[in-house]
């Protein structure tokens, strides 16, 4: 049986962490140091300019803040014994998955910022699944639900962002 509440708590911090970095660009425009420090491997950038220290720091902090707020209000009622740093861990997993995908995206010759379907939509979920198993192993069915729900939510937010003129492309 799928525990939908558990899956929600895994997805939410990772999703928040994945959404915050583009917004942080406007708040801290000069904090844009790439996590790969501009280094290359095999003649190609390791991650690219779009993966920044600013993005990692703000994404992980936002994931943790949202988790702590909800932990005090909702999770206590759901009787999930999660540690105080769970949100940061899920944020790190989501952003880590995104960075790893960028590494392979560079190897495949796909330019930074260009859509790479379906990997751009599920990278954050692929990154969060291994970290979430520290607290509870997920079944294959739950992993599949996370991947499908993660892709659907990502596509929904991309379309909304496009309609609100926040994104230049629909996917």
Domain of 30 in residue numbering reads as: 4-163
Q: What is the pTM of this model?
A: 0.89
Q: In the prediction, which pLDDT does 106 show? A: 94
Please report whether residue 96 resides in a domain.
yes
8 A C-beta contact, residue 79 and residue 57: no
Q: In the prediction, which pLDDT does 152 show? A: 92
pLDDT beneath 50: ranges in the chain: none
Please report whether residue 67 resides in a domain.
yes
Please report whether residue 106 resides in a domain.
yes
Sign of the alpha-carbon torsion through 96, 97, 101, 102? negative
Q: In the prediction, which pLDDT does 75 show? A: 60
Angle at 86 between CA 84 and CA 89, to 5 degrees: 130
Surface-to-core class of residue 81, CB atoms within 10 Å of its CB (0-12 exposed, 13-18 middle, 19+ buried): exposed
Give the chain's domain count.
1
151 to 37, 42, 144, 146: CA distances (angstroms)? 30, 30, 11, 8
Distance CA 112, CA 104 (A): 11
Please report whether residue 168 resides in a domain.
no
Q: In the prediction, which pLDDT does 21 show? A: 93
Please report whether residue 100 resides in a domain.
yes
Q: In the prediction, which pLDDT does 169 show? A: 80
Q: In the prediction, which pLDDT does 143 show? A: 92
45: three-class secondary structure by DSSP:
strand
Distance CA 78, CA 109 (A): 45
Please report whether residue 16 resides in a domain.
yes
Q: In the prediction, which pLDDT does 77 show? A: 56
Q: In the prediction, which pLDDT does 87 show? A: 95
């Amino acid at each position: 049986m799928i525990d939908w509440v558990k899956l929600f708590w895994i997805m939410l911090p990772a999703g928040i962490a994945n959404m915050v970095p583009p917004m942080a660009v406007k708040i801290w425009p000069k904090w844009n140091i790439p996590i790969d420090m501009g280094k290359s491997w095999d003649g190609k950038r390791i991650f690219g300019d779009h993966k920044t220290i600013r993005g990692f720091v703000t994404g992980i902090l936002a994931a943790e803040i949202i988790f702590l707020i909800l932990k005090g209000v909702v999770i206590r009622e759901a009787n999930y014994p999660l540690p105080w740093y769970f949100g940061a861990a899920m944020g790190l997993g989501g952003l880590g998955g995104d960075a790893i995908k960028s590494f392979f995206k560079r190897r495949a010759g796909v330019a930074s910022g260009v859509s790479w379907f379906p990997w751009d939509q599920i990278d954050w979920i692929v990154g969060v699944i291994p970290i979430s198993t520290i607290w509870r192993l997920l079944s294959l069915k739950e992993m599949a639900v996370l991947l499908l729900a993660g892709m659907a939510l990502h596509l929904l937010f991309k379309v909304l962002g496009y309609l609100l003129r926040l994104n230049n492309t629909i996917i």
